[in-house]
Amino acid sequence: MAQRAASVKDEMVQRHSRFVERRQKQGERLKLPLLPTTLIGSLPQTSEMRTARAAYKSGKMERTSYEAFLRKEIEQAIRFQEEVGLDVLVHGEFERNDMVEYFGEQLEGMAVTQNGWVQSSGSLCVRPPILYGDIARERPMTVGWSRYAQSLTTRPVKGMLTGPVTIQQWSFVRDDQPRSETCYQLALALRDEVLDLEAAGLRVIQIDEPALREGLPLRHADRSSYLSWAIACFHIASAGVRDDTQIHTHMCYGKFNDIIEAKGNMDADVLAIESARSGLGLLEALVAYRYPNDIGPGLYDMHSPRIPSREELEEALRRILLVVPAQQVWVNPDCGLKTRRWEEIRPALTHLVEAARATRASLGAFFTGQEGK
């Protein structure tokens, strides 16, 4: 993998066509309405789910039983999202303990611990992997569950990956080579996964990079170099797909206004970004900088059990539309819903979809020229 990273070619770090051309092809393939609704990725991880995962890892539950349990959970999640009325679905990430540890368990050159807990936020703790050697992906990591989820519905289901910068930033990283070189290796491994997801029929693939801002050097003189290789790594991971495959990314846990142009340079087709938690403070940056691609500023703060009303979400969406053209706006929560309860997210997401539909109807224009779902 080190040799492969050293031979990255220019064509590997950019999409085949400009966004305006990709958007047209994706619109024809996905047939989404104006203001499409989606989730960030994870759905509630119940005590039953955590118990089943622990039993499987300890050898108390057989693989066949565990996989049957996961299939049941994924199907229920798909049906739930269809019932609520979301446009682009997620499989829920029920098989994943953590968004970085899950990949650390499967990539060569990374090791995971049993008790190496680190506080993440509040009372939440994670076990960062140890990135000790050259990175390699021996087999697909997410394709099976993503393919299964997509087989359950005609609506697009996202393939879900954690990006190379975030995997590196949230791991203990080898120090015998530049971090940029390590990140290139991660990006190439993820590139292979992305292409396998596309080949498996996934029309939408999300590569999360919440730690991009976190990795920004304290010295301003070093920031340009960091952003150059960090964004190049995102391109390596994402740029091999066809024009009609839609690439999403997600960012949270930070104030991103000062790197909004760098986010635009990532050239993801859709950026979902935390916004509600800061009172839609992101809009200040979007006034000064015309974001070039599609964007979904989060409409409600999922870190709280509070359930937003439809009216509240409509008002937030109207504020966004004063700054961003409707054709570019996606409707989504701030972040994943792993820590929430089903009884909280059902009404919240129902209100989210209702707010999008009401606003969509008031605008009276659709990408497809047809009624929304």
Query: Residues with catalytic annotation?
Result: 303
HEC assignment per residue over the chain: CHHHHHCCCHHHHCCCCCHHHHHHHHHHHHCCCCCCEECCCECCCCHHHHHHHHHHHCCCCCHHHHHHHHHHHHHHHHHHHHHHCCCEECCECCCCCCCCHHHHCCEEEEECCCCCCEEEECCEEECCCEEEEEEEECCCCCHHHHHHHHHCCCCCEEEEEECHHHHHHCCEECCCCCHHHHHHHHHHHHHHHHHHHHHCCCCEEEEECCCCCCCCCCCHHHHHHHHHHHHHHHHHHHCCCCCCCEEEEEECCCCCHHHHHHHHHCCCCEEEECCHHHCCCHHHHHHHCCCCCEEEECCCCCCCCCCCCHHHHHHHHHHHHCCCCHHHECECCCCCCCCCCHHHHHHHHHHHHHHHHHHHHHHCCCCCCCCCC
